[in-house]
Amino acid sequence: MRLLVSLLLALSLPVFAQHDHGVPKAATAQAGPLTDGVVRKIDKAAGEVVIQHGQLDSIGMPPMTMAFGVADKAWLNKLKPGDRIRFAAEMKGGNAIVSRYEMAK
């Protein structure tokens, strides 16, 4: 019986790896590198967007609502309060900025 189990494991593992195309299981199960956020406010004068965000491991932040700078000021014209986005954040010059985002479905 033990032999059969190890034989099955040996046979199934390579198939698994092929179907996943090398992407680690955890990466597909989680949301990926983008974090969920809801736009609360746009401040064009300050060049900031206030986002209610989920856990941001990239900059070590728990979920909260806060202001972010943006990598591209044009984004401030596209976003509006209430928009649901998925975004990546990074620290730049001591400020947290949105480095990229996409609209959430």
Binding stretches for Cu ion (CB under 5 A): 61, 64, 66
The CA distances from residue 60 to 11, 26, 57, 87, in Å, are 40, 19, 5, 15
We find the least distance from the C-beta atom of residue 17 to Cu ion, in angstroms, to be 37
We find the least distance from the C-beta atom of residue 96 to Cu ion, in angstroms, to be 7
Would you state the structure tokens that stand for residue 76, as one six-digit string? 């401030």
The values of phi and psi at residue 48, to 5°, are: -125, 155
Question: Nearer to Cu ion by C-beta: 38 or 66?
Answer: 66
Question: Nearer to Cu ion by C-beta: 62 or 82?
Answer: 62
CB 85 within 8 A of CB 102: yes
We find the least distance from the C-beta atom of residue 52 to Cu ion, in angstroms, to be 9
CB 36 within 8 A of CB 54: yes
Question: Nearer to Cu ion by C-beta: 8 or 91?
Answer: 91
